[in-house]
Amino acid sequence: MSKKSFCSICQKGRFKTTKRIKTRSKYNPTTTYFQYPNIQWLKLPNRKRIRVCTKCRKRLLKSNFEKLKI
């Protein structure tokens, strides 16, 4: 995992999850894996670039960067 795979605003990062495969009436044990958020670069008005998740990106672009405290 890279050090920059989290959102700079909400700190959302990877989390561990499992797949549940049901056969007949029981669930088989399966391996666990990590799910990662959709992290993208965002250019700020002060010419900085930060990494944010798409949820924060939508929120910031709708509010025109008014609520950003970075």
Residues 23-60: pLDDT tens digits? 888 888 788 999 999 999 999 888 899 999 999 999 88
Predicted pLDDT of residue 2 = 58
Q: What is the C-alpha radius of gyration for the chain, rounded to an integer number of angstroms?
A: 17
Closest CA to 52 of 5, 2, 1: 5
Which residue stretches of 1-70 are H helix?
Answer: 54-63
Q: 10 near 53, Cβ under 8 Å? A: yes
Question: Hey, how many other C-beta atoms are within 10 angstroms of the C-beta on 70?
Answer: 10
**Backbone torsions φ then ψ of 24, nearest 5 degrees:** 55, -110
